[in-house]
Each structure stands twice: as C-alpha cells, then as structure tokens.
Amino acid sequence: MFRTVRVGFVVDVALVLGFLAIGWFGAGDTLASEPTFDYLPRDALFLALLVAATVPGLAWRRWPTAALVVSLAALTALWLLGYNASWALLILLVGAYWVSSTRPLREVALCGALVLISVTTLLVVDGAPFSFFQWLASIVSLGMVFALGRSSLLRGELVDARAQAVEESALRRAGEERLRVSGELHDVVGHSLGIIAVQAGVGRHLMDHDPQRAADALDHIADVSRRSLDDMRSVVATLRGGGASYDPPRGLADLPELLETMRSTGLRVTLTMEGDADAMPRQVGAAVYRVVREALTNVIRHAHANRVDVSITLDERRVELTVRDDGAGAARPPLRGAGPGHGIAVMRERAEALGGTLSAEPHPAGGFEVTASFPAEPVR
C-alpha cells in the first residue's frame, strides 16, 4: 500500500513539473493562428498563476474536486489577462478525469458546470483570443473525459459488486451447509445417545435380578451404536469431501424398526398410518422419518412419558403428521443430564425446507404434541 502511494506521488510530481515546463516555455511563442495578437510577456503574475494552475495537480488523488477548481480559476485568469495559455486544456483534461472517476455525481456535475461557465466566459470576454472552435473543442474534449472517467468508476463499482455478491453467495452456501450438517449430526448423535442412555439405565437396573433383559438392553445398545457409527462415518466423509452428500436412505418403510427400537426402552409406541407410503417422494419420506425420530427422542429425554401415539396421513397433496405423548409436557424439567437442545428447531427447519410447517407445544389435555404438515411434492 505504501509503495503504491509513493509511486503515485512520483507520477504526480512528474506531471506537474511537465505542465510547468510546457506552460512556461509555451507562453513565449506566438500562436500561428493569431499572428496579429500580442500576448502579455511572462512576468511574476504569470508565474504565480502558472504555479496556481499546475501545482494543485499534486492533490488530484486526495482532493480532485478542489484541485480542478483551483486550476480552472488560475487558467481562466491567464486567458482573461491576455497571457498565452494554449496548453491549459491538458491540465483540465487530467483534472476532469480524476474528478469523474473518483467523486460523487453531484461533484462531477458541479465541476462540469464550472468548466462550461469558464470556457463560455473566455468566448464572450476580451482577453487572449478564444474562438468558437476552441470553445466547442474544449466542451467536447472535457465532456468525453468526464464520460470516460465516470464509466471507469462504474466499471470498478460493478466489479466490486460482483465480487461482493460472489463472496456473500459463498458465505451463504457455507452457512446453509453448516446448518444441514449440524442437523444431521443432531439427528444421529441425539437419537442414538438418547436410546443408549435409556438402555444403559435399564440394563443397570435389571442386571442383578433379570440378567436376560439386561443382556437384551446391551444388545440394543450395540445395535444402535453400530448404526450410529455408520451414519457418523457418512457425515464425516461429507465434511472431508471424500463422500457423497449425507442423505440417510431411511424413510417411511423404516418407521416400524424405529418404533421397535423405541419400545425396547420401555416406552409404549403406537403407529397409525393412512395412505400409500410407496407413492411418497423419497425426500418427503425421509423428512417424516426424521421428524418422528426426533420427536420420539425428545419424549425419551424430556417427557417422562409412558405412551406415545404417532399418526401419519398420506394423500396426493399433503402429509399430515402428529406425535403426541402422555408425559409432563412443559410443566416439568427434562431428565437429568438432558439439558436444553435444538430438536424442535431442527424439526422445524426440516419441515420448512420442504415447504411445510411444524408446531410443538403442550397439549391442552396433557402431554406434548408435535404436528407437521408437508406438501406431497417437496418445494424445489
């Protein structure tokens, strides 16, 4: 950054010195097109105005509008007093480009108006000869430079806007992917650990007086752990970029197995399903499975329930889902160690991702109820 600023300053100094030399030596010549006009000789006033017209070029990068206004005023004075300032347009062109390529449109319009007033004044007021052709050439040249500088600014802004849009899109995709993977991890870890915790408690309780049921509980723990590890490997493979996007194949056909696993914890679970499960799209079936799984996991972890009723209605347009337990609802704290979680938020995100809705709240008759509704054809 410092090196770029230093190089720019050196370039500006070189330009200012060049304009000083051109202005000083050029003022000593009589223009061939006005052989009968006697320009005022170079003197101290000429030198002062020449310096005032060129030195502001050192501030083109920081204060382009102020630099152009000062230069324009000094150059206009040189012409009006009768000095030879035929080189003046060069300085105005450079200054006009800096203003139009860096400053707001209102400042560009102000500078354009001041330039128009200046050259029109030179045309109608006696001073150094300034013809209509010179007036027209000055207006056209400065107008083109203003347009060129403005287009350069707009191109730069467009490039910045595109780069920002690309960056925001990448951040949005990364955020969506984090939410998706966090939901998958919550499903896998939350469900599996909830089942394992309950089964471990059952096994420890039955170990002394019912070893066979304790062994069954350990078998269930082993089975759930193996399935959980398989799902975790899929998620990790996705995060490492070494596998396909994680999308467990479990759907409506796997609900009986899920409910059987839940029953192994001592929870009584009933399932009522109406409609053709085979006709449901895979995404909808997977969403229903996950919502049911999360709802049942929450029952085990939080509800102190004995019974859960799962009701699913399938038709050609919508899928209606209800999971209701007979537990404590929101009146009692969760089981020890369960703590607050993100289960309801994850279920709601899954429903909304398919264009559906989900509600989870205590039921007026007691217990807790989760209801969800999905379109039979998921929204793209």
Type of residue at 91: I
Per-residue pLDDT band at 322 (split at 50, 70, 90): very high
Our measurement of the distance from residue 263's CA atom to the centroid of its chain's CA atoms, rounded to an integer in Å, reads 46
Question: How far apart, in whole angstroms, are the C-alpha atoms of residue 301 and residue 213?
Answer: 21
Count the Cβ atoms, other than its own, within 10 Å of residue 340: 7
Task: Residue 26: name the closest of 84, 79, 83, 65 by CA.
Answer: 84
- Helix ranges (H only) for the chain are 2-26, 44-54, 64-81, 88-102, 105-124, 132-185, 191-206, 211-239, 255-263, 282-298, 343-353
Q: Can you give the pLDDT at residue 297?
A: 82
Model confidence pLDDT, tens digit, residues 248-288: 557 888 888 888 878 877 788 999 898 888 888 888 888 88
Separation between Cα atoms, residue 116 and residue 375, nearest integer Å: 66
Q: Which CATH architecture has domain 264-380?
A: 2-Layer Sandwich (3.30)
The distance of Cα 163 from the centroid of its chain, to the nearest Å, equals 10
Residues written for the chain: 380
Query: Is the CB of residue 335 less than 8 Å from the CB of residue 301?
Result: yes
Closest CA to 218 of 240, 194, 239, 201: 201
Range picked from 36-40, 99-103, 375-379 for highest mean pLDDT: 99-103
| pLDDT per position as a tens digit, 330-380 | 544 444 444 445 678 878 888 888 888 899 888 888 889 999 998 887 655
In the chain, which segments carry CATH 3.30.565.10? 264-380
pLDDT of residue 310: 92
The amino acid present at 13, given as its one-letter code, is V
Rounded to an integer, the average pLDDT of 145-160 is 81
**pLDDT interval class at 96 (50, 70, 90):** confident
Q: Write the CB contacts of 202 (distance below 8 Å, at least 6 apart in sequence).
A: 213, 214, 217, 265, 266
Question: Would you state the pLDDT for residue 9?
Answer: 73
Model pLDDT for residues 104-124, shown as the tens digit of each residue: 888 888 888 888 888 888 888
For residue 342, the 8-state DSSP code is S
Rounded to 5 degrees, φ, ψ at 272 are -125, 120
The pLDDT > 90 percentage for the chain reads 4
Mean pLDDT of the chain: 77
